[in-house]
Amino acid sequence: MDFTPTEEQVAARDLAARIFGDLSTHERLTAAGTGSDAELWKALCEAGLPAAVEDIGLLGLVLLLEEQGRTTAQVPFAASCVYGLLAVSAHGSAEQRKRLLPAIGDGTVVVTGALPEAAVRVGGPGELSGVVPVVPWLRDATHVLVADEEHGLWLVRTVDARCEPVELTAPWSAGRLTLDGTPGEPLGERERVGERVGERLGGSDADVAGAGQGAYDDVLATARTAFAGLQAGVCAGSVARAVDYTNTREQFGRPLATKQGVQLRAADAYMDTEAIRVTAYEAAWRRDEGLDYATHALTAAWWASEAGSRVVHAGQHLHGGMGADLDHPVHRHFLWGRQLDAYLGCGSEVLQELGALIVDGEGDA
């Protein structure tokens, strides 16, 4: 394993860090409220960062999402890259790739995902019905990727569906998606999707459950890996704020950071953050290399959920009374960390799924 980023990945990460650092400030986040920052999204797209993900791979995307997480930037970057660019690139038909990838790359098409829900029913040809109570970034999206009861993937235009605003713990511009005979476009050529993803997921999903299951599992594993990278950034930002605060805040004439209890709590948070980061890196690297990564994605998701919750709680705790201030910047990291804790499966859920995968003998080595 070699997680050393390429020159292209480093350049993209540094550019993302500069844009997020310049535009995702406390003042701008306060002004945005619970909505997304349209100016920041425009700047990211003009810099070519969403489009670059097709070249720098999932590991490159994880590096970019770390920078987003550090600043809790309110843009649909993760969703559109995972459920749009990477999903269409890996599983879309040639016509879909030609039509959608340039538009996703320049930001004129924004895709989000209604995964891991699979509550959509297929009626007539291309007609979908069902309700997904919460879809992150639905209010920003032009398209949403949904899964039917057989785990087949469909792209639905949000203008054809009913989308109602929903507020989450974190400001993710979420919505409730209602489909009622809504037209949908199947993602890719179903008879060929399974062949492309079966081996990489390390099992016989394509043979047993067909192409739809293989594509669904691949997109979900990709999403879990990417959002684990986002959680690593959220946690790193929380730890950095706690370190800065405890080094400047004095008690009885000494900085809080000189107290052993504070040092141990901060050290534990740092180690948890590193565990999230390295497991996300490994899963992303294996996907980019075409290796089995199903269990690695679940491992990254488990660390992002369990350790992520510990880290953002520690960040608030180390701020003392200031951590209870809802307007303090560290509170955003707490909200994002708790939302990511539950998104795509909480720790106990992914642990159960990981155990079942290993028992069934489908886990990768």
Measured CA angle at 126 (ends 120, 143), to 5 deg: 70
Mode of pairing for the β-strands spanning 174-183 and 143-147: unpaired
Residues 271-308 pLDDT 10s: 999 999 999 999 999 999 999 999 999 999 999 999 99
Q: What is the CA radius of gyration of the chain?
A: 20
Q: What is the overall mean pLDDT for the chain? A: 90
The model scores a pTM over 0.85: yes
SS3 251: strand
What is the pLDDT, as a whole number, of residue 362? 59
| CA atoms 127, 132, 137, 140: torsion sign | positive
Residue 350's pLDDT is 93
pLDDT in tens, 354-364: 999 988 875 55
Taking residues 202-210, report their average pLDDT: 39
Query: How many other C-beta atoms are found inside a 10 Å radius of the C-beta of residue 347?
Result: 18
The Cα 333–Cα 326 span in angstroms is 11
Question: In this predicted model, what pLDDT tens digit does every residue of 6-39 receive, in sequence order?
Answer: 999 999 999 999 999 999 999 999 888 888 999 9
183 vs 361: CA distance, rounded Å: 38
- Which H/E stretch holds residue 165? strand 162-166
- Does 52 have pLDDT greater than 90? yes
